[in-house]
Amino acid sequence: MRYSSMREAMEAGETLVFGHRGAMASAPMNTLASFQLAYEQGADGIELDVHFSKDQQLVVLHDFTVDATTTGQGAASDFTLADLKRLDAGSWFSPTFVGETIPTLDEVFDSVGDKLLMNIEIKSRFAESEALNRAVADCIGRHQMAERSLVSSFDPKLLKGFGVICPDVMMGYLHPPGRAVAWMNDVAHEARHPWHEEIDAAYMTWAAKAGYFVNAWTINDTERACALKRLGVNCLITDDPALIIAALESC
């Protein structure tokens, strides 16, 4: 790991590369295989998604359902962790990955927490957000990952709640094009995570004045990666870390 903390990395003046759900261009998203591959490709960190299972275990999965990336069907919150572990989360991508399972956040920290920085996106139905926030904060604490983690969400209320529970972990506000919530300006957070097409010189000037790091998603085009580097974007979140790292080294 090049940096011992998320803040150190963000303040280093380099353009970081984070693997979006790991190295999902080359491995099944949000699996230990994908996260390990992102590390092997040279990523500084990974972005991943966390939900509650039926028995309130922290599982790493993008969708609220298991249909798209496993051999199961239905809402993830309707499965216990034991049930989720019986599903194959790799064969949909390639026969090479048959037997990959949905990991827990504990397993991700155990596997690559000492190698990669972590951008943890919390996925919540609002009724469960306080319990989910506390579970994520507790997991980060158990693994001593507070300095190497950043929690992000599209849900401003969730972020506000997480900041109260766990003020020592950096937070990033994810927002789709044109839909940033103005009152987030009054919620303490360190980073903005816009869709990359939202970013131009004016956006970067605004973010600098407001004191925000800027972490862009999802960049898979090499020319765009170089343009964002020139603008001073702190981190590029990409499906293909190897491709974007090579591009940044040459521009």
- The series of mean pLDDT values per 10 residues for the chain, 251 residues long, is 94 97 98 98 98 96 97 97 98 97 98 98 84 97 98 93 96 86 86 96 96 98 98 98 98 92
Q: Given 20, 51, 143, 189, which residue is catalytic?
A: 20
- Can you tell me the distance from the alpha carbon of 54 to that of 50, in angstroms, rounded to the nearest whole number? 13
For residue 33, tell me if it sits in a domain.
yes
Record the tokens describing residue 106, joined without a space: 């504990």
For residue 233, tell me if it sits in a domain.
yes
Q: Given 51, 62, 143, 189, which residue is catalytic?
A: 62
Q: What is the pLDDT of residue 178?
A: 78
Instruction: Report yes or no: 206 and 187 within 8 Å, Cβ to Cβ.
Output: no
Residue with tokens 């109260």: 164
| Beta-bridge partners for 174 | 193
20 counts as catalytic: yes
Instruction: Report yes or no: 37 and 26 within 8 Å, Cβ to Cβ.
Output: yes
Residue type, 1: M
Share of the chain above pLDDT 70, in %: 99
For residue 213, tell me if it sits in a domain.
yes
Q: Is 45 helix (H, G, I), strand (E, B) or coil?
A: strand
For residue 89, tell me if it sits in a domain.
no
pTM, two decimal places: 0.97
* Crossing angle of helices 156-165 and 129-142, rounded to 10°: 50
Domain count, the chain: 1
For residue 44, tell me if it sits in a domain.
yes
Q: What is the pLDDT of residue 181?
A: 79
Residue-wise pLDDT for 172-215, tens only, equals 999 888 777 787 888 899 999 999 999 999 999 999 999 999 99
- Alpha carbon separation from 169 to 72, 102, 137, 162 (Å, rounded): 34, 25, 8, 9
For residue 175, tell me if it sits in a domain.
yes
Q: Helical H runs in 73-213?
A: 81-85, 105-112, 129-142, 156-165, 201-210
For residue 236, tell me if it sits in a domain.
yes
For 10, the domain range is 6-50+115-250
Q: What is the pLDDT of residue 176?
A: 80
Q: What is the pLDDT of residue 177?
A: 81
For residue 10, tell me if it sits in a domain.
yes
51 counts as catalytic: no
Q: Which CATH number is 241's domain given?
A: 3.20.20.190
- Can you tell me the distance from the alpha carbon of 162 to that of 133, in angstroms, rounded to the nearest whole number? 6
| Beta-bridge partners for 60 | 50
